[in-house]
Amino acid sequence: EGDGGTAAAWMATHRGMYERATRHPFTVSIRDGSVDLAAFKRWLGQDYMFVREFVAFLASVLLKCCKESDSSDMETILGGLASLSDELSWFKKEAAKWSVDLAGISPLSSTPSVPKFLQSLDDPEISYSVAITTFWIIETVYQDSFAFCIEEGNKTPAELGTCQRWGSPEFKQYCQSLQRIADRCLANAPHDVVVVKRAEEAFLGVLELEIGFWDMSSSQS
């Protein structure tokens, strides 16, 4: 943030939406300790399904990277895939701890638009710049949301402490590398107004998706 790139500029321009995604009542309730455990478990199961879709999406980003980018981006994205692999193990462990039956969860039942959104970005027609911007903001919403849960003054219940995986300084650094990649791609594409416009639309699409995801988690079943 604050390095004068396009990514930071969009976060500023769309501040209201960004804050609705990163200071949502659901994650704020994790921070202040008032979180409803039924809602937490709902989130856990649905996010496990999300991450499975997200792996497929990220594989498509990696493929675009190999085809369209000649830089070291590949290693960052590969690191992202490795971190999703850890994340899946984390979800299984947490699900066992909270008695959430992952096998019995219908795929993103409350958020059918999620697979559609991610799959629409698999298309070979979608440029690497748009895909990497999407990836950056998806990770950043979680990073910012959960970093807030471990900031000074939090009352996050100890048993939810492992959500800190997204709030850690390492995860923040990783999101910052993604932001630098997105900024570089967007700066190289100014001649291509359509690409930058598509990337901004994807940025906003992700914020909407994330807000909807938190809403789904906090709504009564």
Distance CA(49)–CA(122), nearest Å, equals 18
Q: Which two tokens stand for residue 155?
A: 């009352």
Cα 58 versus chain centre, distance: 11
Residue 151 among the catalytic residues: no
**Cβ-proximal residue to ligand HMH, closest one:** 142
Smallest distance, ligand HMH to C-beta of residue 194, A: 26
Binding site for ligand HMH (CB under 6 A): 47, 50-51, 138-139, 141-142, 210, 213
Smallest distance, ligand HMH to C-beta of residue 96, A: 18
Distance CA(198)–CA(23), nearest Å, equals 25
Q: Which is nearer to ligand HMH, 183 or 210 (CB)?
A: 210
Distance CA(112)–CA(49), nearest Å, equals 11
Smallest distance, ligand HMH to C-beta of residue 105, A: 14
How far from each other are the two terminal CA atoms of the chain, in whole angstroms?
37
Smallest distance, ligand HMH to C-beta of residue 166, A: 6
Q: Which is nearer to ligand HMH, 51 or 102 (CB)?
A: 51
Q: Which two tokens stand for residue 158?
A: 């100890």
Catalytic residue among 87, 139, 200, 210: 210
Smallest distance, ligand HMH to C-beta of residue 46, A: 8
Q: What is the CA radius of gyration of the chain?
A: 17
Q: Which two tokens stand for residue 213?
A: 């995801």
Classify the phi-psi angles of 100: left when phi > 0, otherwise alpha if psi is within -120 to 50, otherwise beta: beta
Distance CA(132)–CA(118), nearest Å, equals 12
Tell me, what DSSP letter sits at residue 158? G
Q: Which is nearer to ligand HMH, 132 or 138 (CB)?
A: 138
Q: Which is nearer to ligand HMH, 47 or 73 (CB)?
A: 47
Q: Which is nearer to ligand HMH, 138 or 199 (CB)?
A: 138
Q: Is the dihedral of CA 60, 174, 183, 120 positive or negative?
A: positive
Q: 3-class SS at 187?
A: helix
Could you give the residue numbers annotated as active site? 210
